[in-house]
Structure 1
Amino acid sequence: MERKLIAIDLDGTTLNKQSQVSPKTKAVLTAARQAGHLVSIVTGRPNRLSANIYDDLNLDGPMINFNGSLGHIPHHEWAGEYQYTFDRGIAFDLLAHRAELGIQMIAAEGKHLFLAMQDQPRQIGFFPSVLQSNQILNQKSLTQNPTSLTIAVDRSHQDQLLSYLRHNFNDQIDAAPWGGPDSVVELGAKGIQKATGVEVLAHHYHVQRANIIAFGDEHNDRAMIDYAGWGVAMQNATPAIKQLANDVTAVDNDHDGLANYLADYLHLDVAE
């Protein structure tokens, strides 16, 4: 079998509902690499929240973070490293208008950047509930352009915020609401998607699109699944992603859907 590039989303795909890599998933991804295939994480997560999973899987190639905006090799210099950013003035504008836009929290992130503003301590998935003094986002502290802005907004204001962003900054950024229970909108550089990162990986490894297999479950996986020669939606994926994909896993991310599918697809012999 020709060498495959396997692009894996993390949340809802590689990780189970406890945000962990199951022993079977680890075993299958290890077996895939031992068989000569390439495994790359392609996630919306920042690097600070995915390097531990990269290490747990013993990966050594590039990882794609922030939905395609950062490509790097953790713990190493890499000549192919890239990072897309956008004007920090957008963050300052949103800080100034946060009351009228119903904004409860803004986090500005990049490879070496984490700053946030929140009106009261709150618990949203990826963010500290209480910020250290050197993590406070304001005009003074944000000295570099961010790769990502993550905005928690009152559910009743989400459409208004999206409209405001389209009206004022449509030529600079793309804004996407998260799936799931939290009312969160994420901003990234205009036109950059997970497929941007997968294309970089394909060039780096000299792999044709036909030999790329991508796994995902949410709207931010759309471009990647479309770009890959073989796009696979998780059983727990959104209806739109299932419709777009070439195939759907038999079971969800909590029952080793990715691992079972990949073992079968690559004819891997993995001990149960």
Structure 2
Amino acid sequence: MYKLVAIDIDGTLLNSRQEITKEVKDAIQAAIKKGVRIVLCTGRPIFGVNPFIEQLELNNENDFVITFNGAFVQNTQTKEVVVQNDLTYGDLNDLYELSKTLDSPMHYFDLNNMYTPNKMINLYTIYEAHSNRLPIYYRPMAETPEDIVIPKVMFVEEETRLDRIIENIPDTFKEKYMMIKSTPFYLEILHPMVSKANAIKQLAEKLSIKKEEIISIGDGGNDLSMIEYAGCGVAMGNATPAVKAAADFQTLSKDENGVAYAIEKLVLN
């Protein structure tokens, strides 16, 4: 019997209109009534997940959420922090210098806000802020406090240019950090210990849940680790070829209530 279902948000939980459908919510509530833990597992910042936590009523004493691609895991009611792996000011400075060398726009987060050292704010930075209902602050490196807590840095650009930027990142940086291309226009840069799989593993150990009792549902490159880790990895119908190849089960697409279909087939039945 499965005891925990980890669900990605963008491209998985949400349809093309950025909605959680009634069918998906009903399936999630039915799984909860059956005693299964539902954990949202996303690259979004914690602030950008709160509306979905409230909509799905995942804010009880035993509910947890995985954010920043696994860099920050928190109890949604008590605010107890289970996992926190951050980048340092030194990391931020090194990545900023790299972004200048590569001519790549960048932004970064603390736990509550979003910042960019670029005076000309990139379109994809604006989109990221809008998606997560976060303010954007232009903040030059000279004004950034050295004790800042940074879950994630992102290089952002249109797909063709971002691919060239990634190709030109020195191996020393690729070895030092976890780098994930989560969408065609986002490269996410995190602490080397960060992944969705590691976050799920640590949370499951806390909850005394075995790997074989976990389902992970996702669609993109940043979901691959948790698809491979889970007892049952589920690929959305709209997932990348790599995710589909790694999955144990393929569900319907995000616009066909794929999360609901997976829960019905694997948990409720």
1:255 aligns with 2:256: yes
Partners of 1:231 and 1:22 lie apart in 2 by: 22
Amino acid in the other structure paired with 2:262: Y
% identity of equivalent residues: 25
1:229 aligns with 2:253: no
Look up the SS of the partner of 2:5 in the other structure: strand
TM-score if structure 2 supplies the norm length? 0.87
Query: Which residue in the other structure is 2:26 paired with?
Result: 27
Look up the SS of the partner of 1:139 in the other structure: helix
Partners of 2:96 and 2:30 lie apart in 1 by: 48
Unaligned runs of 5+ in 1: none
How far did 1:175 drift? 1.7
Instruction: Provide closer, same or farther for how the CA distance between residues 123 and 159 of structure 1 changes in structure 2, counting only shifts above 3 A.
Output: closer
Look up the SS of the partner of 1:265 in the other structure: helix
Query: Which residue in the other structure is 1:118 paired with?
Result: 118
**Aligned with residue 173 of structure 1, among 165, 170, 177:** 177
Conserved? CA contact 2:2–2:267, under 8 Å: no
Query: Which residue in the other structure is 2:199 paired with?
Result: 197
Query: Which residue in the other structure is 1:37 paired with?
Result: 36
TM-score if structure 1 supplies the norm length? 0.86
How far did 1:255 drift? 1.2
What's the C-alpha RMSD, in Å, of the aligned pairs? 2.4
Instruction: Provide closer, same or farther for how the CA distance between residues 4 and 98 of structure 1 changes in structure 2, counting only shifts above 3 A.
Output: closer
Aligned positions of 1:1-272 closer than 5 A: 2-59=1-58, 60=60, 61-78=63-80, 80-104=81-105, 106-124=106-124, 125-128=127-130, 136-143=139-146, 144-153=148-157, 155=159, 157-159=161-163, 161-163=165-167, 165-180=169-184, 182=185, 184-249=186-251, 251-267=252-268
Partners of 2:264 and 2:145 lie apart in 1 by: 45
Give the count of matched residue pairs. Answer: 261
Runs of 4 or more above 6 Å deviation: none
Which is helix-richer, 1 or 2? 2
**1:48-107, CA deviations, whole angstroms, 9 ceiling, x for partnerless residues?**
1111111111013110011111111235231x5221012322322343454441222x22
